[in-house]
Amino acid sequence: MTRREQILAQPRLPPEERHRRVEAAALPRNIGAALDATADAIPDHPALVFIETGDAITYRELRRRVNRLANGLRAVGLGPGSHVAVMLPNVPAYPVTWLALARIGAVIVPVNVRYTAHELHFMLTDGEADALVIHAEHVPLIERMPGAVERIAGRVYVVGEGAQGGRRWESLADGQPDSTPPLDPDLDDLMNIQYTSGTTGMPKGCLLSHRYWITCAKAYSDSDMQRYERILAGNPFFYMTPQWQLLMAFFQRGTLFVAPRLSITHYVEWLRTYRIHFSLFRHAYTRQAPTPLDAANEVIRVNIYGGRKEDHAPMEERYDFLVRGAFGMTEIGIGTTMPIEAAHMVGSGSCGITSPFRECRIADPSGHTVPDGTPGELLIRGGGILQGYYRRPDANASGFHGEWFRSGDLAWRDREGYFYIAGRLKEMIKRAGENVAANEVESVLDDIPQVAEAAVIAVPDEVRGEEVKAYVLLRPGVARADLPPERIVALCAEKLAVFKLPRYIEYRSAPLPRTPSGKLRKQDLLKEKPDLRAGSWDRVENRWH
């Protein structure tokens, strides 16, 4: 009997009953209380292990560091409602800072470490940051920002060697007591302003509460009624994933193993080396050549998000662990999850059933529910989803049907309650786990004086899922030699992170197709040729296709 068969043979309650019990269980009153409960129960158990350095932090030590930093943050005037931008890689300072801000009722504004000075400036100003915690290697970005941000003056805290450009982050905790600050945030108090690429313009800040993180983590932790003691976080902490995985480790009385960065070449090795029980998984990991050690792991379950359904069964066979679909977004955390025992759904393309703490339905453009089997927009509601977009009344108005969040995804549900994502209503490019808003890239291209108009679409890619392609129409009198593709990329790189840069650039000789109302007809571009790379310059391969 394979390990998968052994897991599937275990007796368990029906998923609906398990979900009901998850929802009925009492929640900790806030994120700090979740840390305290685990630190009281297993103080000497490792809470975090950082793979790159080998640093291990017990729950006792984690609480001590969090409390000292929380008291230090209060000493410099930060407290309930303060906004603190954090631009750090996967180092211990990140989760410690997040948890310390949770202790004092402050709000984190996570910043992608690959952002440019232009993007950092946007995050600080749009997120109304009162302070900045930044890694030493990114400090030069502050001087290159298009303008000063007065709100953070005197409150720049630097992690890493040297403290040029600010005060040493470590010094905030110096001399501070280990005692818990006399603050007790509510479940619905704001915890994160988590920026996500929207369908128009610049990214939008999702208002996420303590309840958001706790319900998301509880749903992932307890829906299977399975022991997941060793959890692998492969994404950066500035995304949403490692935060709920850390809380999942709290609830499981387990350990979060933190990878330094996403790695296609090392991920499967990490699963084996650290005897991981639960992780997210990407189809790109299967592009590595098979080895006899692929199934030599202790993984119970991995979650996948999208990908080719034809790859699902071979993936399980190769690694001998259970591969289950799920659906989540920054705005909602978790939306659907596949029951662990649903072996009959392998290869179906389904992302599962409605998760605990959520309601899901399929609706027409007016928000009315459509019959099972009918495509429509996936709508989600429930305690803990985003409280809205920060300073974006227009997005709040268009992003909801009443209290139901509009996912922007085309989906359908079968008669058994399983959901299937059929496409996207919104223009988002999902590149190697990063969300890239087509309109954000288009706005940068449109700012180039020699460009008359531009359009950006997604091109399928075996390794990264999707790549960014830009169509460019030059202004009259401008030749391609006047604005070669290398120059276009260089200009984009001044305002966009590297993962947002177009990989493919195609020059147009005629205006882009548009509707009678003037909107771009991107479906026409997608239908122009079987291979969307044809006729394009390839930034990665530095050649024309």
Give 415-480 as a DSSP string.
Answer: TTS-EEEEEESS-EEEETTEEEEHHHHHHHHHTSTTEEEEEEEEEEETTTEEEEEEEEEEPTT--G
Average pLDDT over all residues of the chain: 94
pLDDT of res. 86 = 98
pLDDT of res. 400 = 96
Distance, in Å, from the CA atom of 398 to the CA atom of 175, rounded to the nearest integer, reads 49
Q: 235-268 pLDDT, tens per residue?
A: 999 988 999 999 999 999 999 999 998 888 899 9
Neighbours of 540 (CB within 10 A): 9
Mean pLDDT (whole number) for 204-210: 97
Average the pLDDT over each of 429-433, 455-459, 529-533, 536-540 and give the range with the smallest value.
Answer: 429-433
Beta bridge partners of 350: 420
Query: CA angle, 116 as apex, 115 and 120 as ends, to 5°?
Result: 75
pLDDT class of 163 with cuts at 50, 70, 90: low
Token code pair at residue 76? 């410099």
Q: How many residues does the chain have?
A: 545
Mean pLDDT (whole number) for 283-294: 87
Whether the pLDDT of residue 529 is over 70: the answer is: yes
Q: 339-354 pLDDT, tens per residue?
A: 999 999 999 999 999 9
Over the Cα atoms of the chain, what is R_g?
24
pLDDT class of 200 with cuts at 50, 70, 90: very low
Give 92-143 as a DSSP string.
Answer: THHHHHHHHHHHTT-EEEE--TT--HHHHHHHHHHTT-SEEEEEGGGTHHHH
- Which of 130, 106, 195 is CA-nearest to residue 386? 195
pLDDT of res. 162 = 65
- Which of 254, 300, 256, 293 is CA-nearest to residue 277? 300
Distance, in Å, from the CA atom of 538 to the CA atom of 503, rounded to the nearest integer, reads 6
Whether the pLDDT of residue 516 is over 80: the answer is: no
pLDDT class of 218 with cuts at 50, 70, 90: very high
Distance, in Å, from the CA atom of 51 to the CA atom of 129, rounded to the nearest integer, reads 31
CATH fit for domain 28-186, picks 3.40.50.300, 3.90.79.10, 3.40.50.980, 1.20.930.40: 3.40.50.980
Distance, in Å, from the CA atom of 392 to the CA atom of 424, rounded to the nearest integer, reads 22
Tokens 């399975």 — which residue? 226
3-state helix, strand, coil in the chain (%, to 5): 30, 25, 45
- Which of 278, 250, 255 is CA-nearest to residue 99? 250
The fold of 428-544 is: GMP Synthetase; Chain A, domain 3 (3.30.300)
Q: 396-431 pLDDT, tens per residue?
A: 999 999 999 999 998 999 999 999 998 777 778 988
**DSSP state, residue 374:** -
Whether the pLDDT of residue 198 is over 60: the answer is: no
Indicate the domain borders of the chain: 28-186, 211-424, 428-544
pLDDT of res. 199 = 43
pLDDT of res. 197 = 67
Neighbours of 206 (CB within 10 A): 27
Whether the pLDDT of residue 36 is over 80: the answer is: yes
Q: Taking every pair of C-alpha atoms in the chain, what is the biggest distance, in angstroms?
A: 73
Distance, in Å, from the CA atom of 141 to the CA atom of 403, rounded to the nearest integer, reads 39
pLDDT of res. 286 = 84
pTM exceeds 0.85, yes or no:
yes
Distance, in Å, from the CA atom of 403 to the CA atom of 386, rounded to the nearest integer, reads 11
Average the pLDDT over each of 31-45, 230-244, 277-291 and give the range with the smallest value.
Answer: 277-291
Distance, in Å, from the CA atom of 133 to the CA atom of 440, rounded to the nearest integer, reads 26
Same fold, 28-186 and 211-424: yes
What is the second-level CATH architecture of the domain 211-424? 3-Layer(aba) Sandwich (3.40)
Whether the pLDDT of residue 519 is over 80: the answer is: no
Enclosing H/E stretch for 243? helix 241-252
Q: Helix 15-24 and helix 210-222: axis angle, to 10°?
A: 140
**Buried-state track 452-485, b at ≥16 Cβ within 10 A, e below 16:** ebbbbbbbebeebbbbbbbbbbbeeeeeeeebeb
pLDDT class of 432 with cuts at 50, 70, 90: confident
Average the pLDDT over each of 154-168, 225-239, 333-347, 520-534 and give the range with the smallest value.
Answer: 154-168
Task: Check residue 262 and give left, alpha or beta (phi > 0: left; psi -120 to 50: alpha).
Answer: beta
Residue type, 40: D
Question: Higher model confidence: residue 284 or residue 345?
Answer: 345
Q: 485-513 pLDDT, tens per residue?
A: 999 999 999 999 999 999 999 999 999 99
Distance, in Å, from the CA atom of 538 to the CA atom of 459, rounded to the nearest integer, reads 12
Residue type, 389: Y
Distance, in Å, from the CA atom of 101 to the CA atom of 67, rounded to the nearest integer, reads 10
Distance, in Å, from the CA atom of 194 to the CA atom of 215, rounded to the nearest integer, reads 17
Contact 98, 73 (CB under 8 A): no
Token code pair at residue 178? 């280990």
Average the pLDDT over each of 11-20, 185-194, 418-427 and give the range with the smallest value.
Answer: 418-427
Contact 310, 347 (CB under 8 A): yes
